[in-house]
Amino acid sequence: MAELSYTDAYIADILGSVATIAMVGASPDWVRPSYFAMKYLQSKGFRVIPVNPRAAGTQILGETTYADLAAVPHQFQMVDIFRNSEAAGPIVDEAIALAQDKGIDVIWMQLGVRNDEAAARAEKAGLKVVMNRCPKIEYGRLFGELSWSGVNTKIISAKRQRLRR
């Protein structure tokens, strides 16, 4: 499989335009990666709505969990998929069907999640797609925090960085 490549501008545009994220596969277990990502994205001002049939009706990080995307009673611009690559397919199809109704613009598949067929369907439906990336890591990379962990952000600039929360 060819390596995925997204420009910084493409990712920054997504992270800059999205306000609410439906996180499919959000876990109530505080040691799981989805919990880390949800908490981090909340701290950066995103609203994150957990979607997880096994936790439906319970609260995760102050938000009510819903069984599926259709059950979420809010608008959300992005679907962040914390499921395996195969399971991502039907979730993408659900998102495509709901795109108009919910205002969905972006399908994001987490680190290790990649479903090229589903991505092609989403793009055909006019949605932006990111696969095998983590929005938490990408946000940290583009806005300077990931450098604190010794990661090669590939960002070089002599401009003074704007402080962000």
Which residues of the shown chain bind another protein in the complex (CB under 8 A)? 4-10, 30-31, 33, 35-36, 39-40, 43, 111-112, 116, 119-120, 123, 129, 134, 137, 140, 144-163
| Residue 144 CB contacts under 8 Å (≥ 6 apart), including other chains | 153, 155, 161, 164
User: Measured from the CB of residue 105, what is the shortest distance to another protein in angstroms?
Assistant: 15
User: Residue 154 region, left (φ>0) first, then alpha (ψ -120 to 50), else beta?
Assistant: left
In order of 24, 89, 107, the CA distances from 8 in angstroms are 24, 26, 17
Distance in angstroms (rounded) separating the CA atoms of residues 24 and 95 = 11
Nearer to another protein, 28 or 144 (CB): 144
Burial 19-46 (b: 16+ CB within 10 A, else e): ebbbbbbbbbeeeebbbebbebbeeeeb
Q: Which structure tokens are listed for 85?
A: 């690559």
Q: Which structure tokens are listed for 66?
A: 């819903």
Distance in angstroms (rounded) separating the CA atoms of residues 26 and 22 = 9
Nearer to another protein, 41 or 72 (CB): 41
Nearer to another protein, 18 or 72 (CB): 18
Nearer to another protein, 72 or 92 (CB): 92
User: Measured from the CB of residue 130, what is the shortest distance to another protein in angstroms?
Assistant: 9
Q: Which residue has the tokens 């990379």?
A: 141
User: Measured from the CB of residue 155, what is the shortest distance to another protein in angstroms?
Assistant: 8
User: Measured from the CB of residue 73, what is the shortest distance to another protein in angstroms?
Assistant: 28
Nearer to another protein, 47 or 114 (CB): 114
User: Measured from the CB of residue 18, what is the shortest distance to another protein in angstroms?
Assistant: 17
